[in-house]
């Protein structure tokens, strides 16, 4: 079921469905919010069963976990740069991660925990989440041939990002926006992701 939902989300991105979604009573709900936590992201690699078997689920899980914290660190970097522009105070991600994982909860358990419960666990009013979906641009053979002849393909993954805000009290997604990659096709995937995160920080709807 999770794979079906992620595939649907990815296809929506490709169709250009990148509009911002915001609840109608956002201003009223947001007016009482004082604190926000930036969560580790939720990456997902769209791979065939054959590719998953070839790579190994353990290796995929490890890669997703590493990417999760890389994205969170970039979120912290760009959100903290704009802290003075926001109405809410941002919790240090070191505090966030200590509170999340000090009880023995592992990364897979964290991914399944509802966002409003996470907000309560972190003692904040809202949490910012990021879903990162990666899919292959080329088959392995295409990529190997292009690399052999010297074409600058860069990463073999296409990336899209979904950022959103969840309220502790109502458990609703108050704001949500999808981001498509911009720039050169062969650009490093981490540069593309950082540019998306920078834009998400600028779009964060808690401006003074």
Distance CA 122, CA 94 (A): 12
pTM of the model: 0.82
- Digit-coded pLDDT (tens) for 52-78: 888 888 888 888 999 999 999 999 999
Would you list the domain boundaries of the chain? 2-6+20-203
- What percent of the chain shows pLDDT beyond 90? 54
- Digit-coded pLDDT (tens) for 13-50: 444 445 789 999 999 999 999 999 999 999 988 877 88
Per CATH, the number for 2-6+20-203 is 3.40.50.10610
């Amino acid at each position: 079921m999770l794979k079906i939902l992620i595939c649907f989300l990815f296809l929506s991105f490709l169709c250009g469905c990148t509009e911002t979604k915001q609840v109608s009573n956002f201003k009223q709900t947001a007016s009482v919010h004082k604190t926000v936590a930036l969560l580790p992201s939720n990456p997902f690699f769209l791979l065939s069963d054959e590719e998953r078997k070839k790579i190994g689920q353990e290796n995929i899980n490890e890669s997703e976990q590493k990417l999760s914290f890389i994205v969170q660190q970039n979120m912290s970097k760009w959100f903290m740069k704009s802290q003075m522009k926001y109405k809410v105070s941002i919790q240090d991600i070191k505090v966030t991660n200590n509170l999340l994982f000090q009880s023995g909860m592992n990364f897979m358990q964290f991914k399944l925990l509802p966002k409003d419960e996470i907000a309560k666990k972190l003692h904040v009013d809202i949490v910012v989440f990021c879903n990162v979906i990666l899919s292959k641009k080329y088959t392995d053979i295409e990529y190997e041939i292009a690399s052999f002849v010297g074409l600058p393909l860069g990463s073999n993954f296409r990336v899209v990002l979904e950022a959103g805000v969840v309220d502790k009290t109502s458990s609703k997604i108050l704001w949500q926006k999808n981001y498509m990659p911009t720039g050169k096709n062969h650009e490093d995937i981490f540069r593309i992701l950082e540019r998306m995160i920078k834009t998400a920080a600028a779009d964060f709807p808690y401006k003074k």
